[in-house]
Amino acid sequence: MRFGPAGYPAKSKDPKDALNIVKEMGLNALEMEFVRGVRMSEAKAQEIGTMARERDIRLSAHAPYYISFNSETPETREKSVSWVLDTVRAAHNLGAYIIVIHAASYGKEKSKATDSVISGLIRCKEAMDDEGIKDVILGLETMGRPATWGTLKEISEVMDSIPGVRPVLDVAHVHARHKGMLRTEDDMSALTEEFFALAGDIPHFHISCIEYTDKGEKMHLPLSAKDPDMSLLANVLNFCEKDCTFICESPLLEEDAAVFKSMFPRFRE
């Protein structure tokens, strides 16, 4: 199991410093945040990737928030393909194994959303194949609002049509989307069993607590909020033998990544 923050630690001065802090904290994963766009040269990505491998830190990457394959605007749908491919290329150069995508909103045509995601990602995969990029998984994130595409069922439908696609389980998003559904270890167990059936060799998690309303996700919260109580997840997965990656998206990125790791009885000193 691997644990790390979504982005560089707050006190880091540069990528090398960030990776050193992560390593010193006993963490071994980091998600590169390209949520406002990819602005990293090929050489820089390769340099960071080398530093991460030297420190045994597993990298992933988050694609821009602007992506929407079901947009009513053709220009946005077209740019969504480009934004995914920009992230894929950066991930390939970094040695990051997966990119995380917020794929679509339902908009006015909810019934077409899954087909729109499939259509957009087919184009992405074709371009990846043309460029010989075979080492990057397209990760579709479970989303936190009922108005936004991204349930495990919907993601599984995309997987049926496109190889190289996997779900990314944002536990807090699922909790918020269903108005606080994760209250017990049984709840967590049922969710992870559904996820593991789809997740492949390296299940990729986002973890945090969350504030939500009837409309779903409002904002991420520190793990101390206990909504959901992430220790329930740690207890359920304590003896799990899968090679999971847990990326912390709470406001206390690296601190709560370490806190979550400490929730597993197997990792306590």
pLDDT digits (tens, 9 = 90+) for 244-255: 999 999 999 999
Token pair 């299940």 is found at 203
Spans of all domains in the chain: 2-267
Phi, psi of 218 (to 5 degrees): -115, -55
Burial class (CB within 10 angstroms; exposed 0-12, middle 13-18, buried 19+) of 269: exposed
Task: Give the integer Cα–Cα distance in Å for 3 and 48.
Answer: 18
- Where does the pLDDT of residue 207 fall: very low under 50, low under 70, confident under 90, or very high at 90 and above? very high
- pLDDT band, residue 268 (cuts 50/70/90): confident
Q: What three-state secondary structure class fits 237?
A: helix
* Helix or strand run (H / E) with residue 218: strand 216-221
DSSP labels, 41-92: -HHHHHHHHHHHHHTT-EEEEE--TT--TT-S-HHHHHHHHHHHHHHHHHHH
Reading the block at residue 232, the tokens are 């329930």
* Position 117 confidence tier, pLDDT thresholds 50, 70, 90: very high
Q: Which CATH number is associated with domain 2-267?
A: 3.20.20.150
Band of pLDDT at residue 61, cut at 50, 70 and 90: very high
**Is the model's pLDDT at 65 over the cut of 90?**
yes
Hey, which residues does 246 pair with through a beta bridge?
Answer: 3, 205
pLDDT exceeds 70 at position 269: no
What pLDDT is stored for residue 31 in this prediction? 98
Digit-coded pLDDT (tens) for 6-22: 999 999 999 999 999 99
Q: Where are the beta strands (DSSP E) in 116-192?
A: 137-141, 165-170
**What number is the average pLDDT over the span 43-53?**
98
